[in-house]
């Protein structure tokens, strides 16, 4: 691994910022990488487009600004419109298929992450299901690192639910990639 630029995008209230924080924490604290995390969102906070950006490198991140993501996660149509053009040519794109209509491609992977969360009775863990999918499709962070970052980040009463959502997304990736 050299350097990964990851952008997670959706709408305010989906937990996009938390998901980015978890990815950065997993990489930096539990996978021993250097990571830089930044966030952006519109003034309306809930409902408007937002993005979390994480740069992960084996070496020190010397330029902490994401330029063209290698991995793009899209969890809303507005985010897809706003961020799809600004990615690396060979980027891996992960899409919540129930919330985003996007073109197919060799490096485009779709999963029903919001639906997986709804089946658990909590749509709010769709972001964590997407992290499971991300971990299953890419090697940007290890499964063990993400799971530990989830355990140490989410409220204690929700750890089991979040880990189940993560596993659902990861298992979906494993089933569809075979």
**What average pLDDT values come out for the chain (178 residues) when binned by 10 residues?**
89 93 98 94 66 94 88 93 84 93 80 95 94 96 98 97 98 91
**How far apart are alpha carbons 68 and 89 in whole angstroms?**
9
- Cα dihedral 173→74→108→136 (10° resolution): -20
Q: Enumerate helices (H) and strands (E) in the chain, giving the number of each.
A: 6, 6
pLDDT at 46: 61
pLDDT at 83: 84
pLDDT at 133: 98
Q: Is the pTM of this model over 0.75?
A: yes
pLDDT at 27: 97
Bridge partners (DSSP) listed for residue 92: 71
**At the fourth CATH level, which superfamily is domain 3-177?**
Pyruvate-ferredoxin oxidoreductase, PFOR, domain III (3.40.920.10)
| Number of residues assigned to the chain | 178
What is the C-alpha R_g of the chain?
15
**How far apart are alpha carbons 156 and 34 in whole angstroms?**
27
Extents of the domains making up the chain: 3-177
**How far apart are alpha carbons 82 and 78 in whole angstroms?**
6
pLDDT at 60: 93
pLDDT at 43: 58
């Amino acid at each position: 691994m050299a350097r990964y630029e990851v952008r997670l995008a959706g709408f305010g209230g989906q937990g996009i910022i938390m998901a980015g924080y978890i990815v950065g924490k997993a990489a930096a604290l539990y996978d021993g990488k250097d990571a830089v995390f930044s966030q952006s969102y519109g003034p309306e906070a809930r409902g408007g487009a937002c993005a979390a950006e994480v740069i992960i490198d084996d070496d020190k991140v010397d330029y902490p600004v994401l330029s063209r993501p290698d991995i793009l996660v899209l969890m809303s149509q507005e985010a897809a419109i706003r961020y799809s053009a600004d990615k690396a040519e060979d980027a891996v794109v992960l899409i919540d298929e129930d919330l985003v209509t996007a073109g197919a491609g060799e490096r485009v992977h779709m999963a029903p992450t919001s639906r997986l969360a709804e089946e658990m009775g909590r749509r709010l863990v769709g972001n964590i299901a997407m992290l499971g999918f991300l971990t299953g499709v890419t090697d940007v962070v290890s499964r063990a690192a993400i799971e530990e970052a989830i355990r140490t980040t989410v409220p204690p009463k929700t750890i089991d639910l979040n880990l189940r959502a993560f596993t659902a997304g990861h298992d979906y990736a494993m089933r569809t990639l075979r």
